[in-house]
Each structure stands twice: as C-alpha cells, then as structure tokens.
Amino acid sequence: MSKTKYYFDSENLEFVPIKKTLVQRFYRLSLFLISSIIIGSFITIVLLNTDFIDTPKELVQAREIDNYELQLRVLNKKLDQVESTLANIEKRDNNLYRVYFEASPIPDEQRKAGFGGVNRYGYLEGYESSNLIVNTTERVDILTKELVIQSKSLDEIELLAKNKESLLTSIPTIQPVNSSDLKRMASGYGYRIDPFTKRRTMHFGMDFSAKTGTPVYATGDGKIMRADNRAVGFGNHVRIDHGFGYVSIYAHMSKIEVKRGYKVKRGDIIGYVGNTGRSFAPHLHYEIVKDGKKINPINFYSGSLSPSEFKKLVELASQENQSLD
C-alpha cells in the first residue's frame, strides 16, 4: 500500500493530502528509468572490464584452451607408448641385429641427445600452459631425431644383411675337386718335402691328386682376376676374387675354362686338373688368401664334406710328406 503524503493548510489549519498529477507521475517514472539505465550500463561496463565476469568470447576461448590442453595430455600418453615401442626396437637393434652383423652399437647418448645452443622453445613461453606445450614439443623433436637415427640404423642393418648373404655364398667352402674323383689328398698346408730340391720348405696350399682332365670347381662366388700361365711355377692357373678379402688360387691345370673378368658361382667348372708348371705329377694345387695372407684351406671345406670325411681329410693333411709341386 502506497504511502499518502500531506501538506499543512495554514488557512484552514488542517493537513490536506497531496494529490500528484499525471504529468508529475510520468516525470518521476521517467527519471527513475533513465537513472536505472545509466547506473546499470555503468556497472555492466565496469564488470566487463574486470576479471569478475567473462565475456562470451572469453568463455569460448577458455573452452578451446581447455580442449587443447586435454589434447596435449592425450598426445603425451601416446608419446609414452611410442617411446616405449621405440626403446624396445633400439634395444633389439643394439643387442641383437648389430651384434649378429658385427656392427658397433649406437650409444644412448647419441640416440637420445637433445638440442644444444639457443633456447629453441622461447617462442612458446609466457602462457599458462607453456610448460605442457614446451615439454610436448621437445619430446616430439627428440622422438623425431631418434626415429631418424633408428631408420638409418635399419638401413645399415639391411645392407649388412645383404652383405652377409653375399659373404656366405662367396666364402670358398667346398673342395675344388670332388671326393669321388680324387686318388688321394697328396699334401697339406705347412712344411713339406719339396719334390725337386728334396728340402723341407713351406707349402702354402693343398695338393689334390687326380687324373688329368678331372673337373676343377670354383669354391665360392666371385670374379676371375687371373686366368693364365704367367705365374712362376703355377703353370695354367686361375685366381678368383671372392670379395670380403678372400682370393682362391687353382694351379697346374691342363685347361682353363674361364677368362679374366668372368663372374662365377660356387660349383662352376673353371678348368681341369693337369701337370703344367712346376709340378711333379697330375694334381691340383689349391690356395686361399685372406687379406693378402695365405691361410690353411683345410678350415674351409665344411660345405662339401661330412664330419667323417672332414676328419679323415684333416688327418691326411697333417702328415708331413712330400708335396707334388
């Protein structure tokens, strides 16, 4: 109930109610509304320029920032999985693949090295989520570097594997003359009696006694580096470069079936047993050279002999008898 206001009528000595006209009422109402609008606008402007109330745009930005932070945390969990998987690959690479192929392991200091010098991530600093952003970016950069190193390592392993396969086919691992064609293993590697001087001299190969015309086989894959009769004492002879530092020599042959530059496979016929050069009787003189040094061929026959045959061959080769050249 609205309060009624009065004024004192001095003539009649009484209080008389004050009656407001319509114009007065309208004026007072308008004044109240205008004042309210002004004060409300002022308060709104003040609040919008303080941290008490966020604008719709700020609310949208805040939600986007929260979403980005959530995505970064999810990304970091995925990075944990990638790092774990990569660490397993690196471990197998160092402890298995590189050991098998006789390659030096890659140290962790090289794989996981950071980036020195200037601050690479300074442009990401100064924000509420800077630590999370910088940490994630740095992890991605280091992982990228690790993946590049691991990729190069696997390329190297692939090349080593191909070389390993080539090595296994190139090493001279069979007898140059079939066991069924041999009369006997005449002389082995070591000091033997020279058939011409009758003195004890070093014999750098093995002599296989066989009939003239018996096939002589390449003992491993390779390339013919010599096929002639110009080597002193060897007569008709062939030299095969097997790569990896291995060279095999076949001497005193009656006929040569290959020429310099030919590529041969293990088991290919390269000539025939003979008695040319400084030879006492028909036989094949066979040598193996590794890195320029003549070595005992007896250790390279695992590819063509049974254990019992190899044992017998070793016993015969160990006898200090007279050689045939």
What's the pLDDT at 257? 96
Query: Is residue 322 a part of any domain in this protein?
Result: no
What's the pLDDT at 305? 64
55: confidence class by pLDDT, cuts 50, 70, 90: low
Please provide residue 234's backbone torsions phi and psi, each rounded to the nearest 5 degrees: -85, -20
What's the pLDDT at 139? 84
What's the pLDDT at 89? 86
| Residue numbers of the domain that contains 83 | 56-170
Residues 185 and 311 in one domain: yes
Query: Is residue 125 a part of any domain in this protein?
Result: yes
What's the pLDDT at 302? 62
State pLDDT tens for residues 262-319: 999 999 999 999 999 999 899 999 999 999 999 988 878 765 666 777 777 777 766 7
Residues 196 and 286 in one domain: yes
Residue 108 to residues 85, 119, 146, 268, Cα–Cα distance (Å):
15, 23, 10, 47
Does residue 50 surpass a pLDDT of 70? no
Residues 201 and 299 in one domain: yes
Query: Over pLDDT 70: what percentage of the chain?
Result: 83
Does residue 40 surpass a pLDDT of 90? no
What's the pLDDT at 253? 96
What's the pLDDT at 250? 97
Residue 253 to residues 25, 37, 112, Cα–Cα distance (Å):
138, 120, 60
Residues 74 and 149 in one domain: yes
Residues 74 and 98 in one domain: yes
d(CA 265, CA 256): 16
State pLDDT tens for residues 205-257: 989 889 999 999 999 999 999 999 999 899 999 999 999 899 999 999 999 99
Residue 128 to residues 56, 61, 62, 125, 148, Cα–Cα distance (Å):
20, 13, 12, 9, 32
Residues sharing a CB contact under 8 Å with residue 223, sequence separation 6 or more, in sequence order: 240, 241, 261, 262, 263, 264
Q: Give whichever of 11-15, 109-113, 146-150 has the largest mean pLDDT.
A: 146-150
Query: Is residue 276 a part of any domain in this protein?
Result: yes
184: confidence class by pLDDT, cuts 50, 70, 90: low
102 vs 71, higher pLDDT = 71
Query: Is residue 264 a part of any domain in this protein?
Result: yes
Does residue 84 surpass a pLDDT of 80? yes
Residues 18 and 71 in one domain: no
Residues 186 and 290 in one domain: yes
Query: Is residue 325 a part of any domain in this protein?
Result: no
Long-range CB pairs of 225-232, under 8 A, 24+ apart, other chains included = 225/260, 226/260, 227/256, 227/258, 227/259, 227/260, 227/262, 227/270, 228/256, 228/260, 229/276, 229/277, 231/277, 232/278
What's the pLDDT at 187? 80
Amino acid at 233: G
Residues sharing a CB contact under 8 Å with residue 275, sequence separation 6 or more, in sequence order: 212, 235, 252, 254, 281, 282, 283
Element (H, E) at 80: helix 56-92
Residues 129 and 153 in one domain: yes
Query: Is residue 192 a part of any domain in this protein?
Result: yes
Mean of all residue pLDDT scores within the chain: 81
d(CA 282, CA 249): 16
Query: Is residue 24 a part of any domain in this protein?
Result: yes
Last residue of a domain, one of 114, 139, 170: 170
Does residue 183 surpass a pLDDT of 60? no
Q: What is the value of pTM for the model shown?
A: 0.56
Report the pLDDT averaged over residues 124-148. 81
Residues 164 and 224 in one domain: no
What's the pLDDT at 58? 67
149: number of CA atoms within 13 Å, CB side? 21
**Lowest-pLDDT range, 134-138, 146-150, 228-232, 319-323?**
319-323
Residues 240 and 311 in one domain: yes
Query: Is residue 323 a part of any domain in this protein?
Result: no
Does residue 1 surpass a pLDDT of 60? no
Residues 95 and 39 in one domain: no
Q: How many domains does the chain have?
A: 3
Q: Residue 185: which CATH number?
A: 2.70.70.10
